[in-house]
Amino acid sequence: MNKNTFKVKVGLAEMLRGGVIMDVTNVEQAKIAEEAGAVSVMALERIPADIRADGGVSRMSNPQMIKDIQAAVSIPVMAKCRIGHFAEAQVLEALEIDFIDESEVLTPADEHAHVYKHPFKAPFVCGARNLGEALRRIDEGAALIRTKGEAGSGNIVEAVRHMKMITSELSNLKEQNLSEKAKEFRVSLELVEEVAENGKLPVPNFAAGGIATPADTSLMMQLGAESVFVGSGIFKSDDPKERAYAIVEAVTHFDNAKEILNASYKLKDAMKGLEISEIPEDQLLQKRGD
């Protein structure tokens, strides 16, 4: 019997396909998310939009709050650690968290290195803006990749940019000099060869960062995302319960515009979004970690 192999870690990521992972900050929101059909919840003290507004250092959430959420729902529970903060990751693993998000939404703890994820029992998800970044995280042991997008912005433009970038780099990879690419990406040649051969990442690829509506969801799924993370988009809207369910429906029926239309009818106002150019350069979350 093999526990905690890379295959077992990726296995859970595969089961989350075609689903919505929702940010929740308390037991009540976690229950709303599960009731609406979320495949998983991300337990965190403040959603990205509030982290952005509040400023200061943002750390791993209070373990008691995460534990309360674990007790309240039966779906997998994820939580975030700071980039490079392997001790926070160890604490989350001790808590038996189902997935650790080494996230740019929190203040990075290490400006040079991410957590080396292979020795952990718990699987990790990491953000990426391009193929090199995605492969570096996979080389370090990430079992799931998501676009970084621009968390807490309510603006889909960055997630679109990152998804299209990864997709186009994947489709061109085969024609490139792979050993040069491995050097450029700073990953093993074996990994680059495997990805070039298959034309896809060896782990699922989800969308995150700026998704606020059923149509945003459909857009990201049509661009190749296999699931979506929705952070601020649900509990910063005027109708979290209805919006959560509408986004779940939108993932399943992403290629059916009538279904997206039906899912959109009943909704009130989405969260207020941010124009990316109005976010000061040093406050862009996607620039954290490379």
Partner 1 sequence: MIGILALQGNFSSHIQILNKLGYDSKLVKSSKDLDNIDGLIIPGGESTTMTKLIAREDRFVKSIKSFSKKHPILGTCAGLILMSKNSFDDKVINFGIIDIESERNAYGRQVHSFDTRLDLDYNSKNTSFMASFIRAPKISKVGKNVQVICNHDGIPVAVKEGMHFATTFHPELQNEALIHQLCFGDG
Contact footprint for partner 1 (CB under 8 A): 1-5, 7-9, 11-12, 14-19, 34-40, 70, 74-76, 93, 96-99, 121-123, 245, 248-249, 251-253
Tokens of 177: 């000099």
**Cα distance between residue 52 and residue 284, in whole Å:** 9
Spatial contact of 232 and 213, defined as CB atoms under 8 Å apart? no
Q: How far is the CB of 256 from partner 1 (least distance, A)?
A: 8
Which residue's CB is nearer to partner 1, number 110 or number 197?
A: 197
Closest CA to 207 of 186, 230, 191: 230
Which residue's CB is nearer to partner 1, number 183 or number 266?
A: 266
Which residue's CB is nearer to partner 1, number 107 or number 252?
A: 252
Q: How far is the CB of 142 from partner 1 (least distance, A)?
A: 15
- Rounded to an integer, what is the distance from CA 60 to the centroid of its chain? 16
Which residue's CB is nearer to partner 1, number 40 or number 213?
A: 40
Q: CB under 8 Å to 46, separation ≥6 — which residues?
A: 25, 54, 58
Q: How far is the CB of 200 from partner 1 (least distance, A)?
A: 10
Provide the β-strand partners of residue 23: 42
Q: How far is the CB of 30 from partner 1 (least distance, A)?
A: 12
Backbone angles phi, psi at 10, to 5 degrees: -65, -30
80 is a catalytic site residue: yes
Q: Residue written as tokens 């109005």?
A: 278
CB atoms within 10 A of CB 64: 9
Catalytic residue, chosen from 3, 67, 80, 148, is 80
The catalytic residue positions are 80
